[in-house]
Copies of this chain bind each other. A is one copy, B any other.
Amino acid sequence: MVVQRSMRLLLAAVVGILCVSYAVADEGMWTFDNPPRTRLKELYGFEPTKEWLDHVRLSSVRFNDGGSGAFVSADGLVITNHHVARGQLQKMSSPQKNYVAEGFYARTFAEELKATDLELNVLFGMQDVTARVMAAVKPGMSTKEAVDARKAVMAAISKESKEKTGLRADVVSLYQGGEYWLYTYKQYTDVRLVMAPEEKIAFYGGDADNFTYPRYDLDMAFFRVYENDKPVKVDHYFRWNAAGAADGELVFVSGHPGSTNRLQTYAQTEYQRDVAYPMTLKTLKRRLAVLNTYAARGGEQARQARGSIFGLENSLKAMTGEFGGLNDRETMAKKAAEEKDFRDRVMANPAWKAQYAWAWDSIGVAIERQRAKAATRSFRSVRSRLLSFATTLVQYVEEVKKPNGERLAPYQDANIEGTKFRLFSRAPVYLDLDEEQCVDGLRESLEALGPDEPFMKAVLRGKSPEALANELVRRSKLVDPAVRRQLLEGGEQAVTASDDPAIVLARIIEPMNRETRAWEEKNISGLITKASEKLGEARFAVYGKTAYPDATFTLRLSYGTVKGYPMNGTIAPAKTTLFGLYDRAYSFDMKGDFDLPQRYLDRIGSVDLKTPVNFVSTCDIIGGNSGSPVINAKGEYVGLIFDGNIESLPGRFLYSEKANRAVSVHSAYIIHSLRTLYDAAPLADELEGK
């Protein structure tokens, strides 16, 4: 599954976003201001017009939960993956009604169900603000002054834009700070569920088949965007093409890849391999064990834990594949060769050498510090949903006192509404589960840091992990969204006076974390940012702007061909069919994750078994692209991205043209299943414009 993964440990360990030097084959996640025109023309004879690009951009949707989607009707109908919708389906469910497992279909607008706290964004505007950001940093400024000045001007740009347009406004840093862009987004927060199939068919094959192909998943979900309690009318949406794309056809993916680390220095990549990944994999396995134990207690516990188990298994499988890439000699040799070429060119030019050569050494120093601090950085935290609400409240009252430009990002004017939206979410908190996870997190930190470590001492205050977690989870009132709202509205005074145990703990932790962040900004991330910026500059100097920036969960365009690939001694076909779904089910005697919903058995006689189910293309994607539309050269909707194959996983660090494939649900299967299996002909008609 190509979901954007939430990886506290990993993201903490990876700082600095780098661009790639040159793109080969169908490589690249391109910004819409700089599509790979030359390659598209040379390889495919295709020249995207401004209208084409604008239409694709405005039809593309970001799911802020961590995925992508697309408008597919004039009435604000949006399609994404079931696994992108899963979090919302879970939040809308109750012990009585499990929308994740059972699915949902609204036959009329009136039946559509409002999602709990789902925010969708559409990229309305893009403006290059590099000059203004750069100008704010004056010669002679110290690193700290430069960082502050940059932060301030970025906040100012966002604020001005937001005041002028009312749109969400983010200043995004691309090419390691080689460019800064103002991205403005139309925000939608009234989003209603239209249709989702059963999990067992959406995620057919479960964890075993995840990140593999051939595949047979109906990983789809439909929402509708509302404004003023009415379906929004959109000018831009993708027209449906139920024939799909042919083998060998040019296709595009327009979506929101979360993050890549393709042009880290070799030393940074080694750090990932030697420190960050082994540590993270170990932690994820531990968390998964806690969840599985909890889920084994009963049906309701299983329901509550299911979403987190899915997420952890998905992360584990993805990271195991990525880690495999890091341990693959060929991959690492290629990375080393790329760095050598870059470095040699810099060193061969005296001016470049003087300007840029120090950056590699500087990153080396930072990495050594990272190594020394790895355990502290990773384990100085307490895992609890209630505590995360408390932390937001404690940070909020502190940050809003500051000028906009000096605040932490979530509390800047441009972002603060979204932060509140999430804080006030009515999504259920599973207290038993929260407690279990909190206890285990404390134990894990204790094992890693020891009881005398200052953070641990301050947090535990002589209590056992069990006692602390119990008090935190059982006595806190923050489970109630109204209480959270009250506290926020009460401001600093209310938060400071609160004796809610979560708030109390957050007041202890936050100053310590603030200090840690400051130290790290100065000694690690600041160093890396500065050096990475230089390397970004060096790359522009050496290779020109022929490249795409690393992924940043902003809108990107990938391109490629529908094409099979060599697999495990044979070849994988470009597409699969419904015959294959039934084959896999009967091959496993309908056991485990390979059983079929009853409707698939009852209606096999009406189903056209030749219907294409999933297909692959060479498009370059990664987690966050889940739910992205696959479109043909005419801009028609031909598929729904939901995964990368196992061979694509090392793509986080290095794109490989050999067997990297993006896996999509075929447009024909979506229509056919709606009509013949889900009695949802009206929805199919809406898609097909009938």
Chain A residues proximal to chain B, CB less than 8 Å: 205, 208-209, 211-212, 214, 247, 317, 321, 567-571, 573-580, 582-584, 586-589, 594, 609-610, 645-646
**Contact status B569-A586, CB under 8 Å:** no
B-side contacts of A589, CB under 8 Å: 247
**Contact status A588-B573, CB under 8 Å:** yes
3 interchain residue pairs of minimum CB distance: A580-B583, A569-B646, A573-B587
How far is the CB of A601 from the nearest CB of chain B, in Å? Answer: 11
**Contact status A577-B587, CB under 8 Å:** yes
**Contact status B209-A570, CB under 8 Å:** yes
Complex Cα gap A587–B214 (Å)? 10
Complex Cα gap A208–B568 (Å)? 10
B-side contacts of A580, CB under 8 Å: 579-580, 583-584, 587
B-side contacts of A574, CB under 8 Å: 587
Complex Cα gap A536–B41 (Å)? 67
Complex Cα gap A14–B412 (Å)? 75
Complex Cα gap A205–B646 (Å)? 23
**Contact status B587-A609, CB under 8 Å:** no
B-side contacts of A610, CB under 8 Å: 586
How far is the CB of A652 from the nearest CB of chain B, in Å? Answer: 16
**Contact status A568-B212, CB under 8 Å:** yes
**Contact status A576-B587, CB under 8 Å:** yes
How far is the CB of A608 from the nearest CB of chain B, in Å? Answer: 10
Complex Cα gap A584–B209 (Å)? 18
Complex Cα gap A321–B645 (Å)? 23
**Contact status B583-A576, CB under 8 Å:** yes
B-side contacts of A317, CB under 8 Å: 569
B-side contacts of A584, CB under 8 Å: 573, 580
**Contact status A577-B583, CB under 8 Å:** yes
Complex Cα gap A290–B61 (Å)? 56
Complex Cα gap A589–B208 (Å)? 27
B211, B582, B609: the one contacting A569 at CB < 8 Å is B211
**Contact status A567-B568, CB under 8 Å:** yes
B-side contacts of A582, CB under 8 Å: 577, 579, 609
How far is the CB of A669 from the nearest CB of chain B, in Å? Answer: 13
B-side contacts of A570, CB under 8 Å: 205, 208-209, 212, 646
Q: Which chain B residue lies CB-closest to A317?
A: B569
B-side contacts of A212, CB under 8 Å: 568-570
**Contact status B214-A571, CB under 8 Å:** no
**Contact status B587-A583, CB under 8 Å:** no
Q: Could you jot down 14 A-B contacts, CB within 8 Å?
A: A212-B569, A568-B568, A568-B646, A569-B646, A573-B587, A573-B594, A575-B587, A576-B583, A577-B582, A577-B586, A579-B582, A580-B583, A580-B587, A586-B610
How far is the CB of A276 from the nearest CB of chain B, in Å? Answer: 22
Complex Cα gap A382–B247 (Å)? 46
Complex Cα gap A594–B573 (Å)? 10
How far is the CB of A264 from the nearest CB of chain B, in Å? Answer: 25
**Contact status B583-A579, CB under 8 Å:** yes
Q: Which chain B residue lies CB-closest to A579?
A: B583
Complex Cα gap A594–B609 (Å)? 17
B-side contacts of A571, CB under 8 Å: 208
How far is the CB of A359 from the nearest CB of chain B, in Å? Answer: 36
Complex Cα gap A575–B586 (Å)? 9
Most B C-beta atoms less than 10 A away, residue of A208, A211, A571, A586? A586
B-side contacts of A567, CB under 8 Å: 568
B-side contacts of A594, CB under 8 Å: 573
How far is the CB of A563 from the nearest CB of chain B, in Å? Answer: 12
Known contacts A579-B582, A587-B575; A569/B214 CB under 8 A: no
Most B C-beta atoms less than 10 A away, residue of A567, A570, A575, A584? A570
Complex Cα gap A211–B570 (Å)? 8
Complex Cα gap A571–B610 (Å)? 24
Complex Cα gap A567–B584 (Å)? 14
B-side contacts of A646, CB under 8 Å: 568-570
How far is the CB of A266 from the nearest CB of chain B, in Å? Answer: 23
Most B C-beta atoms less than 10 A away, residue of A568, A579, A587? A587
Complex Cα gap A580–B585 (Å)? 10
How far is the CB of A557 from the nearest CB of chain B, in Å? Answer: 28
Most B C-beta atoms less than 10 A away, residue of A209, A568, A589, A645? A568
Complex Cα gap A574–B594 (Å)? 13
B-side contacts of A568, CB under 8 Å: 212, 567-568, 646
B-side contacts of A575, CB under 8 Å: 587
B-side contacts of A609, CB under 8 Å: 579, 582, 586
Complex Cα gap A629–B589 (Å)? 24
Complex Cα gap A321–B570 (Å)? 12
B-side contacts of A588, CB under 8 Å: 573
B-side contacts of A211, CB under 8 Å: 569
How far is the CB of A314 from the nearest CB of chain B, in Å? Answer: 13
Complex Cα gap A208–B565 (Å)? 11
Complex Cα gap A41–B321 (Å)? 40
